[in-house]
Amino acid sequence: MPPPPQDPDLAALFDAAIAARARAYAPYSRFAVGAALRDEHGRVHAGCNVENAAYPVGTCAEAGAVAAMILAGGRRIRALLVLGDGAGPVTPCGACRQRIREFADGDTSIHAADSAGVNRSFTLDGLLPASFGPETLGA
């Protein structure tokens, strides 16, 4: 079992993700997830998964955290942590990798954690190589 993060920046993301996960609405999968990210101002934004009786309508924890960042005026993700008690590291789903890609750099850290601590750390490029983004559009 990994220990809780020692790095205070990572520990703040971990704590926020734990608190967010406690509010998850996941009656169908019973797989509660919390996510937390740090924006370019150093602020932490969190989200939880919100499922729906019409299953595909459910949203991931990362989507909530990104929405919270945008609402608060943040535009860049400096680091993100996703937390769930899975049978292995809980990494962002494919759609969420793209969602994160919009606001993060290739070398941005994405941490996968469970209740005990961070299991594995990735870069966005590692999770989503050769990605499509705003620059591709010339935006």
Contact residues toward ligand THU (CB under 6 A) are 26, 29, 31, 33, 49, 51, 58, 60-62, 82, 90, 92-93, 96
Q: CB 110: neighbour CB atoms within 10 A? A: 27
- Tally the C-alpha atoms within 13 A of residue 88's C-alpha that lie toward its C-beta: 2
Task: Look up residue 12 and give its two tokens.
Answer: 């703040």
Give whichever of 11 and 26 is closer to ligand THU, judged by the CB atom: 26
Q: Rounded to whole angstroms, how far apart are CA atoms 13 and 8? A: 9
Q: How far is the CB of 106 from ligand THU (least distance, A)?
A: 19
Q: How far is the CB of 94 from ligand THU (least distance, A)?
A: 10
Exactly one of 40, 62, 102, 135 is catalytic; name it.
62
CA-based radius of gyration for the chain = 14
Q: Rounded to whole angstroms, how far apart are CA atoms 35 and 15? A: 10
Give whichever of 87 and 137 is closer to ligand THU, judged by the CB atom: 87
Whole-angstrom CA distances from 2 to 29, 34, 114, 117, 124 are 25, 18, 9, 5, 22
Is 40 catalytic? The answer is no
Give whichever of 42 and 128 is closer to ligand THU, judged by the CB atom: 128
Q: How far is the CB of 134 from ligand THU (least distance, A)?
A: 22
Please list the active-site residues.
62
